[in-house]
Amino acid sequence: MTPPTQPPPNHDRGLEYDLATLHRRRFLGLFTAAGLAAVAGCSADDSTTTSTPSTTATSATPSTSTSTSTATTDASLDVDEIPQETGGPYPGDGSNGPNVLTQSGIVRSDITKSFGSASGVAAGVPLTVELTVVDADQDKALEGAAVYLWHCDAQGRYSLYSDGVTNENYLRGVQAADGSGKVTFTTIFPAAYMGRWPHIHFEVYASTAEATNAGQITRTSQLALPKDVCSTVYATDGYDGSAQNLSQTSLENDNVFGDDDGVHQLATVTGDVSGGYVATLTVGV
């Protein structure tokens, strides 16, 4: 099998943007103790071993931004802003080639299948992603906010961009937050490709209308997946090359999560291979 493609270093907004973002994140990181908003990257443990596959429920180390599916307008939530990150080279939002956001059918919860004239289905270990969108300044759920979420398939390919799936649009979708600020996506566990820690991209918009018009983005960030769960998934069929790629990187040296140990982006994951996993994360914007 051809190894998963490594994303080029110059992301969709250009090298100048990425360098400026990195400089800003490192600068602000020096003042975290003084109480400035968290806008740095993320990192955590290393990834030099592969755990033994297990069919029992596996729980990842929780993010310090406590994940919850029942966020309320309660100041006790005390949610920090999630770091602003690059959308990467394969956003599909019109900023770097294809624009899937304006296509009929993009608003959906199940993103395992392509829509419109495409018919592909992404195979892999089932994963449910639950994000709770919260106003970090007021510590309240953002009902009606929209999330556009996308990630690679089990072979490390991005629909619309990668060889073999340029005509597919699976593993991309938009959902509006409910009264608790929660959005839910049914998907598959993404691969680990060369040079990056396993992750899921997302953009937050003020509304579904704003998202489906490819309008103003409130926040662009990424969700990190925990090492123990990744190791278990990558020992199953269909994830060829992922275990090796995982062993060659870590959260602490990842170019996105490597600034603060992934404290605001590392999802809490429960479940098992046979029944599927659930990844939860609170997203402060």
Task: With a cut of 60, say whether residue 75 has pLDDT above it.
Answer: no
Residue 32 has a pLDDT of 35
The residue type of 192 is: A
Query: Domain-by-domain residue ranges, the chain?
Result: 126-284
Residue 77 has a pLDDT of 59
Cβ–Cβ < 8 Å for 232, 53: yes
* Residue range 235-260: mean pLDDT, rounded: 95
pTM reported for the whole predicted model = 0.75
Residue 79 has a pLDDT of 86
If DSSP codes are grouped into helix, strand and coil, which group holds residue 268? Answer: strand
* Residue range 71-77: mean pLDDT, rounded: 47
Q: Looking at the DSSP assignment, which residues form a beta bridge with residue 244?
A: none
Ranking 6-10, 100-104, 269-273 by mean pLDDT, the lowest is 6-10
Residues 6+ apart with CB under 8 A from 135: 141, 142, 284, 285
Task: With a cut of 60, say whether residue 52 has pLDDT above it.
Answer: no
Percent of the chain with pLDDT over 70: 73
Render pLDDT for 110-148 as a digit per residue (tens, 0 to 9).
999 999 999 999 999 999 999 999 999 999 999 999 999
pLDDT band of 224, cuts 50, 70, 90:
very high
Distance of CA 162 to the CA centre of its chain: 18
Task: With a cut of 50, say whether residue 206 has pLDDT above it.
Answer: yes
Sheet holding 219-224, edge to edge: 172-176, 146-150, 199-205, 219-224
Q: Which of 239, 214, 258, 267 is nearest to 69 (CA)?
A: 267
Residue 18 has a pLDDT of 38
Fold of 126-284: Protocatechuate 3,4-Dioxygenase, subunit A (2.60.130)
Render pLDDT for 237-248 as a digit per residue (tens, 0 to 9).
999 999 999 999
Mean of the per-residue pLDDT values of the chain: 80
Percent of the chain with pLDDT over 90: 70
Identify the residue with better confidence: 245 or 20.
245
